[in-house]
Amino acid sequence: MTRVLPQPHQAFLERMRAAVSSDPRLKALLAGGSYLHGGFDRYSDLDFVIVVDDDACAEVMASRRSFAESLGELLSAFTGEHVGEPRLLICLYGPPLLHVDLKFVISGDLDQLVERPVVLFARDGSGIEARLDAAAIRWPDRTPEWFEQRAWVWLHYGAAKLGRGELFEAMGMLAFFRDQVLGPMLHRRAGRPQRGVRRMEMSGGPERELLTRTAAIHDARAIRGALSAAAAIYVDLRDDEPPREKVAHMPDALLDFLDQDVDLPA
C-alpha cells in the first residue's frame, strides 16, 4: 500500500531509510503507529523500529543519540523508561516540529509483537519478513479482573483528593481513569484493541458523550459530578464482560463517600 505523507514526514522517512541502509550494523527499518493504522496527518508522530545486528547491539545502543542527531536538527531526545521501554529514544526535530520515536531492537525481539509493522527496508538475507510472518501478534488488552481490581481504588483516590481540596490532583485522576479504564473498556465494547482514549472523538459512537461527562473544570462540584459519572459509566461497561469477583460494597460505598464525606466549599 502506498502511503501519502506530509512533506516533512516523507523527507524524514527518506533520510531515515538512507541512514539505516548505509549502516551495516542495522538490519532493517520498520514503521508502526499511524503509518500502520491509517489516519496519518501533519500532526502525527513517526514511529520507527530499527533492527540491530545482535553483535552490534551494545555499540548501537550507546550511540543512539549520535545516530538521532545525524538524521536532522535534533532539538531534544530522551529514553522511554517512563513508559517501560528503555530501548526507545523519543525525539523532537525541527523546525518544522516533528516528533519521532526510534526503538532499537534485535531480531529476537520480533517474535512477540503487539502489531505487525511495515517493513521500510530490510537487508538481503536478514529474514525479517519471515520473522514477522511467524511472530505472535497480540495487543496487550486488560482482563475484566485487571479493571475491577484498580477502578475503585483510583476513583476513591480522586474523591479523597477532592475532599482535601486538591482539585488539580482530582482532575488528573479523572484524566488517568479515562485513559486507563474507561477508554480501553469503550474500545472493548466496540470490538477494537484497548488503545486508551485514542481517536475517541472520531469514533462516531456514544464514546465522546460518555467521556465528556467525566471531564470537569476546576470546580469542586463539577469534579464530584464527574467522579460519580465515571463510576456509573464503569459499572455499565463492566457488565459487558463481568469480572469473576466484584469488589464488595461498590459503587455504593464510593458514592456515599462522595456525598457524605467530601466537604465542598460553600
pLDDT confidence bin for 106, thresholds 50/70/90: very high
Do 12 and 82 lie in one domain? The reply is yes
Question: How is residue 196 annotated by DSSP?
Answer: T
Identity (one letter) of the amino acid at 44? S
Domain boundary among 119, 137, 155: 137
Summarize pLDDT for 82-97 with one digit per residue, the tens: 988 999 999 999 999 9
Do 152 and 124 lie in one domain? The reply is no
Domain boundaries, position 212: 144-261
Q: Does the pLDDT at position 2 exceed 70?
A: no
Strands 118-122 and 85-93, by their bridges, are unpaired
Domain boundary among 106, 137, 168: 137
Residue 266 lies in a domain: no
**What global pTM score does this model have?**
0.87
124 vs 68, which has greater pLDDT? 68
Give me the count of residues in the chain: 266
Summarize pLDDT for 222-255 with one digit per residue, the tens: 999 999 999 999 999 999 999 999 999 999 999 9
Do 79 and 34 lie in one domain? The reply is yes
The pLDDT of residue 139: 87
Q: Specify the CATH number for the domain of residue 250.
A: 1.20.120.330
Do 43 and 131 lie in one domain? The reply is yes
Distance (Å, rounded) from C-alpha 28 to C-alpha 122?
4
Distance (Å, rounded) from C-alpha 58 to C-alpha 177?
38
> Nearest 5 degrees, angle CA 208-CA 213-CA 215?
90
Q: What is the mean pLDDT of residues 126-155?
A: 95
Residue 1 lies in a domain: no
**Domains in the chain, number:** 2
Residue 32, beta-bridge partner list: 47
Do 126 and 214 lie in one domain? The reply is no
- Which phi and psi angles does 136 have, rounded to 5°? -85, 115
Summarize pLDDT for 30-76 with one digit per residue, the tens: 999 888 876 788 999 999 999 999 999 999 999 999 999 999 999 99
Residue 2 lies in a domain: no
Do 132 and 168 lie in one domain? The reply is no
Q: Specify the CATH number for the domain of residue 116.
A: 3.30.460.10
Do 164 and 129 lie in one domain? The reply is no
Do 104 and 189 lie in one domain? The reply is no
Do 103 and 162 lie in one domain? The reply is no
Domain boundary among 81, 112, 137: 137
Closest CA to 107 of 49, 23, 64: 49
Average pLDDT, the chain: 93
